[in-house]
Amino acid sequence: MAEYKAIPCRDGVKVSDLKDFSLLETLDCGQCFRWMPDENGIWQGIAMGHYLRIRQLGETDFLFMDTNMEQFKQIWEPYFDLNVDYGAIKTALAADPVMAQATRYAPGLRILRQDGWEALCTFIISQNNNIKRIRGIVERLCQCFGEPIEGGYDFPTPQRLAEASLEDLAPLRSGFRAKYLLDAARKVAGGQVDLSRVPQLSYEEAQNYLQQIKGVGPKVADCALLFGFYRMEAFPMDVWMKRAMKSLYPEGLPEAVQPYRGIAQQYLFHYARTNPQLL
């Protein structure tokens, strides 16, 4: 079990002795779209209905601002997956030399436990799109339809979005994806897609279940499952992963990697996308 210290302080919660965690690598690796560093290197974002700023003070030291001990334990510890021993996971993955290289490249990357509905929507938006523009569309989505909260706007509820029309979504400039967002909102708000059931479904069932929604195919379903439901069986294959697999694993993913394929995918995605010359 990974152990770290968290103590309340004047500004929030001070975290120390936390290994295998980098804000840059975790928040800028393409799994989430609402976190931004300011000019002082303080990351700020809104997730799980709350605004948060975080400063990385050193290799294993962090300051979580705008929060208290109770909220930290209830929301941020699970969100940032701080109770999982990534050292052990990386050791297991390093049985494969390519994975050893990929984990060494971003040793502080963790898989966030994001909200399922938000992950579903943001990865619907992600299709045939680039990360910079995805961020902009997601931000406008929150400004237009999310509840104002301290620090900005919450991610919109499916109910609120389901009330909107296609024309109402025009300000997002999300292109052909707008109709997919509405279909997702209407099916979730109407109960046809019950996201609270997803954790009880097998991986294959969950994939098919989410693909009822227009604009949700295998890749978007996999991203929603991995990033919104922490399903490690998911292995999203986008253009970058196709390049990476062809180049790094022409024979397929090694057996040693299979138990952690979800996390492995994210190490590989980040490694490939930020080192295109290696492919």
Q: Which residues bind DNA (CB under 7 A)?
A: 29-31, 123, 126-134, 136, 170, 173-176, 211, 214-221, 223, 236-241, 265-266, 269, 273
**Residue number with CB closer to DNA (30 or 152):** 30
**Residue number with CB closer to DNA (34 or 55):** 34
The dihedral formed by the CA atoms of 3, 91, 100 and 21, expressed in degrees to the nearest 10:
-10
- φ, ψ dihedrals at 60, nearest 5°: -125, 15
For strands 35-37 and 12-16, give the pairing. Answer: unpaired
Per-position b or e across 230-265, b if 16+ CB within 10 A of its CB: bbbbbbbebebbeebbeebeeeebeeebeebebbbb
**Minimum distance between the CB of residue 175 and DNA, rounded to whole angstroms?**
3
**Residue number with CB closer to DNA (12 or 45):** 45
Which of 165, 177, 151, 133 lies closest to 42 in space, CA to CA?
A: 151
**Residue number with CB closer to DNA (189 or 279):** 279
**Minimum distance between the CB of residue 249 and DNA, rounded to whole angstroms?**
14
**Minimum distance between the CB of residue 217 and DNA, rounded to whole angstroms?**
2
**Residue number with CB closer to DNA (15 or 248):** 248
**Minimum distance between the CB of residue 127 and DNA, rounded to whole angstroms?**
3
**Minimum distance between the CB of residue 196 and DNA, rounded to whole angstroms?**
22
**Minimum distance between the CB of residue 179 and DNA, rounded to whole angstroms?**
7
**Residue number with CB closer to DNA (103 or 266):** 266
Using alpha carbons only, give the angle 275, 279, 234 rounded to the nearest 5 degrees.
85
In the three-class reduction of DSSP (H, G, I as helix; E, B as strand; rest coil), residue 157 is classed as coil
Question: Distance of CA 249 to CAs 88, 98, 244, 246, 268, Å?
Answer: 23, 9, 7, 6, 11
